[in-house]
Amino acid sequence: MAEQFVNTAQTVDFDSEPSSYRHWELAVDPPVATLTMQVDPAGGLRDDYELKLNSYDLAVDIELYDAVQRLRFEHPEVRAVVLTSGQDKVFCAGANIQMLAGSSHHHKVNFCKFTNETRNSIEDATANSGQVWIAAVNGTAAGGGYELALACDEIILVDDRASAVSLPEVPLLGVLPGTGGLTRVVDKRHVRRDLADVFATRAEGVKGRQAIEWGLVDVVVPRSRFDEMVRERALMRAGAATSDRPGEERGIVLGVLERSEGDDVLRYEHLDVRLDRALGAAFFTIEAPVGPQPATAAEMVEAGASFWPLAACRELDDAVLRLRFNEPELGTWVFETVGAAAGVLACDDVLREHQEHWLGREIRLYWARTLRRLELSSRSLVTLVRPGSCFVGTLAELALVADRSFMLDGTFDDGAVPAPYLQLTDVNDGWYPMSNGLSQLESRFLGHPEALVAVRSRLGKELLAADAAELGLVTFTPDGIDFADEVRVTLEERASFSPDALTAMEANYRFAGPETMQTKLFGRLSAWQNWVFQRPNAVGPKGALRSFGTGSRPSYDRARV
């Protein structure tokens, strides 16, 4: 029987800022910030469910993502972030079950993907930004609530004989923990496999001392000393020598993005996205910076969110998220660039020279996260390199990330604009690691070390089509006569294939080499969850998601497949 769901086709907007938060409270007391989850039950994305017991939906997580970004860019003085709950005896009940039961398959999968990426950004802040996250679990943390705590570097659980941590999805809902719980329990917290099995099938979870013994939390504290212990731990972690975040330097303000929208276009200051619904494609055009760029760290901070690398990255991030949720039938994303290559290289130079500066580091980390989001977006990626392009340095990553790339060999008939070139630099050899921990170049030439050596010998050189093809950096190099036709045939062919098959094929090809926690989250776990979310055992009329809270037991097809 077909899945029944509430229409979730409304436009999703990712604009947010602290004064408009309905679900979070952010308090900064340097060197510690406290982010308190206080979910408004009536503040969900839709009105057919209530967000009780600090359960969450996409609206809650959009605010969380915004808070994570602002803590990194607006508060360099913050070295530790305490994540806690404003509700008595409840930390977080996880993803709202009625929301999941009533959402389309498309929305459920993208919701889980976005929440995973947000939790990855928390871990990235701890690992790379000197801003450690601590979960102060002051009540029961169930399902996605415990997964939220798992994203933190340290978990402090109140010991009150009632509060527990749990992953009840398998026994209660017939689905998997959707935001990385299974993977983080064994890969991050190194919980023994048999104990992890018991934990994930015990709906009531684990409390107190046993949670410590199994490795599910780090500290348990009586309620009478809980706040005191959390503060002590936060100050200790904030004072650690591993954090180099400046105590006195001011942050930068992430203002609201300037964006205009039409039926078939999104326009930002540095990015245009044209939507071709007949072809099932979206065409992204990123414009290189114009005019002089900051040369010193002070000038970079002064420029703030208008500094081209940060501004362009924010725009690309926003566009990717909006198209993911709002334009699911545009299955192919085509990337083009325009403008002067010198401006892009100049911005890269500033980031290179000030890579140890907190803001320079944050911008590079943000580009890495955004490029990974692009790779994980379940879209076919195509890049067009033609006269007037500026695929150099950071923007050259968009040529390397593509499933297919077309580079014009020579010029078009009038020859008014010179032949295009690629220019790779050290930026492309490690600045922006993929989910597998490798650079795009290392993944591209996996098992071919001689090819990687050859490319590295040409870093900094302007590579025309013949050079790029010889080095294996582009897929096809048609001439001016054939370029448009070859691109058209590819896009039409892509639109004719099964989107499901393409998504699976691309996910298998993109992340060759070592398996990491992220490749497990977005490959193994997401693939299985994608499947489980379509099975009658979960979403059928008698499935677990449909039956939850009704008083009736789910009816399962007992066949293992």
C-alpha pair distances (Å), 222 with each of 160, 200, 217, 458 = 6, 25, 14, 61
- The beta-carbon contacts of 235-239 under 8 Å, at least 24 apart in sequence, are 235/31, 235/32, 235/80, 237/79, 237/80, 237/132, 237/134, 237/153, 237/154, 238/31, 238/32, 238/78, 238/79, 238/80, 238/132, 239/31, 239/79
3-class DSSP state of 514: coil
pLDDT band at 9 (very low <50, low <70, confident <90, very high): low
Helix-strand-coil split of the chain, %, nearest 5: 45, 15, 40
As a whole-number percent, the residues of the chain with pLDDT over 90 amount to: 83
The catalytic residue among 63, 147, 287, 375 is: 147
Question: What pLDDT is recorded for position 529?
Answer: 80
Highest mean pLDDT (candidates 245-254, 278-287, 412-421): 278-287
The Cα–Cα gap between 301 and 487 comes to 41
Q: Which residue has the tokens 């990255």?
A: 313
The catalytic residue among 123, 169, 287, 442 is: 169
Instruction: Give the closest residue to 72 by CA, choosing from 133, 114, 11, 23.
Output: 133
Whether pLDDT at 2 is above 50: no
Backbone angles phi, psi at 166, to 5 degrees: -155, 155
pLDDT band at 241 (very low <50, low <70, confident <90, very high): low
3-class DSSP state of 383: strand
86-145 tens-digit pLDDT: 998 999 999 999 998 899 988 998 999 999 999 999 999 999 999 999 999 999 999 999
222-238 tens-digit pLDDT: 999 999 999 999 999 99
Q: Which residue has the tokens 């009105």?
A: 47
Q: Is 144 a catalytic residue?
A: yes
Residues 354 and 302: beta-carbon distance below 8 Å: no
The catalytic residue among 144, 251, 280, 523 is: 144
8-state DSSP, 148: H
For residues 197-221, give the mean pLDDT.
Answer: 97
Q: At what angle do helices 105-128 and 358-375 cross, to 10 degrees?
A: 150
Output the CATH code of domain 18-238.
3.90.226.10
Q: According to DSSP H, which parts of 177-221 are helical?
A: 181-183, 193-201, 208-214
Question: What pLDDT is recorded for position 4?
Answer: 44
Q: pTM for the whole thing?
A: 0.95
The catalytic residue among 95, 234, 282, 319 is: 95
Instruction: Decide whether 18-238 matches 260-503 in CATH topology.
Output: yes
Q: Is 147 a catalytic residue?
A: yes
**What CATH topology corresponds to 260-503?**
2-enoyl-CoA Hydratase; Chain A, domain 1 (3.90.226)
461-479 tens-digit pLDDT: 999 999 999 999 999 999 9
Residues 21 and 70: beta-carbon distance below 8 Å: no
Q: Is 95 a catalytic residue?
A: yes
Question: What pLDDT is recorded for position 7?
Answer: 46
Give me the residue spans of the domains in the chain. Answer: 18-238, 260-503
For residues 506-518, give the mean pLDDT.
Answer: 90
